[in-house]
Amino acid sequence: MAVLKTVLMVIFILISIVLTVIVLMQEGKSAGLGAISGAADTYWGKNKGRSMEGRLVMITRVMVILFLVIAAVLNIGSF
């Protein structure tokens, strides 16, 4: 059981590092203020899900879900 906890802790630390790097790679949301003047109707605005930014958002969501699940599993073992 201790081996499983150690493996989960290592995975948890790696996910934390990757999640930090991915969040820092993302653009700020202040660029979204151009939507008021209609700038969101550009090619990149319509196809954001297919761009690198869209992939980063999807990877961030997956990593956050993994982070929360592993945190819950590690916390259950501490009782």
Q: What is the pLDDT of residues 4-51, one digit of tens each?
A: 999 999 999 999 999 999 999 987 766 555 555 555 555 555 565 568
Strands (E), the chain: none
What pTM, to 2 d.p., does this model score? 0.71
Crossing angle of helices 2-25 and 52-76, rounded to 10°: 150
Give the pLDDT score at 31: 56
Cβ-based neighbours of 39, under 8 Å, separated by 6 or more: 45
Write b or e for each residue in 22-44: b if 16 or more Cβ atoms lie within 10 A of its Cβ, otherwise e: beeeeeeeeeeeeeeeeeeeeee
